[in-house]
Amino acid sequence: MRNIVYIIDKMRKEGDQSMIELKGVRKSFTAKGNIVHALNDISLKINQGEVFGIIGKSGVGKSTLLKILSLAMRPDQGHYFLLGKDVTEITHKEKKQLLLETSFIYQGFSLLYNLNVLDNVSLPLKLRGVSKEERYKKAKEMLEFVGLSAKIDDYPITLSGGEAQRIAIARALITNPKLLFLDEPTSALDEQTAYDILKLIKKTHEAFKPTIVLVSHQMQTIQYLCDKVMVLKDNKIDRIGPIKKLDKLSTGYDALWGDNL
Amino acid sequence: MMLLLNATEQAQIIKASLETLNLLLVSALVSLPIGTIIGMLLALYEKRIFNKHRWLIQILSVIVSIVRSIPFVLLMVIIIPFSFNTFGTSIGYMPSILSLSLIGIATVSRLVEQSVIDMNPTIYDLAYSMGASKYQLFKEFIFIEVRSSLILAYTSSLVSLLAYSSVVYIIGGGGLGYTAIQIGYYSPVGKTLMWVSTILMIIIVQIVQLLGNILANYLNKKKRGH
């Protein structure tokens, strides 16, 4: 009896730490009359404060998984628990509330080109009804954090790729999100700029401690940032575990552990 | 230019210009907001941002296509029974405004729809990921991103409306078209009036286009140099 109480208590404690939990998630699409199984039986757990990497070749379901995790898509089967809530059963209003706890950084930066840098960064706070003075103050702090205070009045068209991604990071951080999704954050950048952005993401994690879910096809990116990694192959989990452990098992995995997938 | 005309002709051209401006402004006031709303709806359904009552939007899209396909002169004639039942007359100012507004709404709808469809699709994902409401999606994202192309769409629509307004004299709408053709062209001594009317129309188009371009350019920050 004491053992059962201990196990339940342990599970509860583990549950408290859990930011994301997927159980048997499946997703299919119909393309030209054929059913395409984008995700098969995906189960995983991501704890608070972890940096979790998802890697795999093109077409293995990385983007679909990220869409499900970021609440942009519902799974066909299985359960998805985010911050302890089963998102397959929540209302639209509850989903909106959960979205306020998350931020997304896209591959293509996704800045609004008709807004200057300050307005781009402060936009999430504007949507939350924060006063202009307060949101600008916070945006300036975030721009200082990403090292772009001097670009405050500039428009995105005048920014380099690296600067645009820094602005996107500042915008994602302004709401102090518990969960940060990154979709190929460095794939559109040259090598040196990509490294600078990775350093900034690492600095972000150290400073704000968000849980990070990162999708990348670049192994260096995953190795540099992640605590845990999941390798997707043939639209299902091929391997999952701590990055160091997986690294040791890399022998015979040359195809996956090459420079790029 | 006015010195080429005698006092009667000057009075006629001033009256006609005011009629044309009246037709243009009132039909624009009706068609720009309604056309914008319809165009936005068509685009947002096309992009699957909205899904409910899809059949209604498809019917709306077909109506817009039909109105745009009918030659304007025929459109004015076709709606005569409706005008008569609604306004108690089939000719004059109100039937002219109705026909101009109808073609204006259809024109603006398609141009606005195209502007929104051409927008960077990641903007929708971005708005969703930030938890934006449908209203915020429109106000803070779509409108901001497409505002300069909307101004160009409105400019183009106004120029089209001005062209259409030149033929509403057929149903008694008056304006510079009436002065140029009925008083000017068909009169043995009215050729000057025809040319002055034409030049005035060109000037109005140029002013509308110039103002539209300046405003669109000012609002467009996607070009280097801002």
Q: Which residue has the tokens 């899904």?
A: B51
Domain count, chain B: 1
Whether B115 has its CB under 8 Å from any CB of chain A: the answer is no
Nearest to A114 among B125, B136, B222 (CB): B222
Tens digit of pLDDT per residue, chain A (261 long)? 444 444 444 444 554 578 899 999 999 988 878 888 889 999 999 999 999 999 988 888 898 999 999 998 889 999 999 988 898 888 888 888 889 899 999 887 689 999 999 999 999 999 999 999 999 999 999 999 999 999 999 999 999 999 999 999 999 999 999 999 999 888 878 888 999 999 999 999 999 999 999 998 888 888 899 999 999 988 889 888 888 776 554 534 444 444 444
Give yes or no for B145 touching A (CB within 8 A): yes
Question: Which of B217, B172, B190, B225 has the alpha carbon at shortest distance from B12?
Answer: B190
* A70 has a chain B CB within 8 A of its CB: yes
Phi-psi map region of B50: left, alpha, beta (phi>0 left; psi -120 to 50 alpha): beta
Question: Min CA distance, A211 vs chain B (Å)?
Answer: 16
ipTM: 0.79
Where in the sequence is the domain holding B61, given as residue range(s)?
A: 2-223
Contact B129 A104 (CB under 8 A): yes
Q: Do B221 and A155 touch (CB under 8 A)?
A: yes
CATH of the domain at B67: 1.10.3720.10
Helix (H) or strand (E) holding B174: none
| pTM exceeding the 0.90 threshold for the entire prediction | no
**How many Cβ atoms are within 10 Å of B134's Cβ, its own excluded?**
11
Q: Which of B48, B128, B130, B150 to mutate to test the interface with A (most CBs of A within 10 A)?
A: B130
Please list, in sequence order, all residues whose beta carbon lies within 8 angstroms of the beta carbon of residue A225, skipping any fewer than 6 positions away: A51, A53, A198, A201, A202, A205, A212, A214
Distance CA A13, CA A114 (A): 47
